[in-house]
Amino acid sequence: MKSLTQLTFGAKEQIKLLADLERLLSQGMSPQEISEDFSMYGDSTEQSIGTDISDALEGGGNLSDGLVKWLPQIPMQAIKSGEISGDLPGACGAAQKMLSASSGSVGKLFKSLLEPFFTIVMTLAGIALLTQNLFPQLGDMVPRPRWPAISTMVESIGTHFYEFGLIYLVFVVLVPIIFVISAQIVTGKTRMVLDKLPFYKQYTMLASMQMLTSLGHLSGSGLSLDEAIDQVETTASKYLKWHALQISENITLSQGQGNMGELLTTGLLNARVVSRLKRINAKMRTDELLLMASDEHAVLFEEQTAKGIFIFQSIAKIIAYGLMFMTFGGLMLLILQITQGI
């Protein structure tokens, strides 16, 4: 079980840790020396990390075993691949790049959605308060059968949100949790449909980057593609294992002679990147092809995230401003009817 410090170890701290590890490993320091450096000269968090690394090494484990509670799955996969390939500094650099891309873009996505979402919540809360306070008073002045339709609709929306608002809030909290879990375990035809939806598209891009980076480092260490796939499967999520199995089947069917783009055609990689891999297959080494494809997915991830931000922000603002306009219009029409009646 993770400690409170590990649970609150955010993306910025994780990126800094990976940058420190890349620098120290590049300078020739061993994992044991790094753990001693962290334990002796680091702050309280670094000392805890140093202790975990030291405990893992003393128990016969690797650097990755000491970092497993401090880093998410995607960068951990890259580090484990680096341990197998013998290129830990490069693996830490790749993990840092992957984490920066994912945390920066996903964080930007949620941050950009926060303002319009907050506007919607505040608007609905305002309608709920009006229906419980002001509207009953107006109802005493004008019989409800004579209310304008828009005023009646506003009251119905406000009453509904007042009664079921807690359920909606619970739903909003559960949705991200359900997404994270389902993105890692759902496979088959259902997943092929889900991958066309927002957020699942972003996760698929991240998963593509994760697999391609890991395969690239493993191939660069001298492993064949099928051997690299076997290594990735040992630590991959159920979703990635599903795609890795399909790649293995493609390799078997091609008897090891297939085009790289064709071997990786499982639905995980972007179709455009696969097409490029097919065209330049014979011009680059396997590890270069895989790392190039990973970089291509990083670019696509940024582009799709920016597009998702624009779409959801626009939809949320339309809903929020529509609710505010409807509320204002319903209230004004009702007040106007009261003044005319007087």
pLDDT digits (tens, 9 = 90+) for 53-101: 999 999 999 999 999 999 987 678 778 878 887 889 988 988 887 777 6
DSSP 146: G
Rounded to whole angstroms, how far apart are CA atoms 86 and 274? 28
Residue 99 near residue 77 (C-beta atoms within 8 A): no
Rounded to whole angstroms, how far apart are CA atoms 174 and 178? 6
pLDDT in tens, 101-142: 666 555 665 666 566 677 777 888 888 888 888 878 877 787
- What global pTM score does this model have? 0.68
pLDDT in tens, 7-60: 889 888 999 999 999 999 999 999 999 999 999 999 999 999 999 999 999 999
Rounded to whole angstroms, how far apart are CA atoms 81 and 62? 12
Would you kindly state where each structural domain of the chain is located, as residue ranges? Answer: 1-71, 72-341
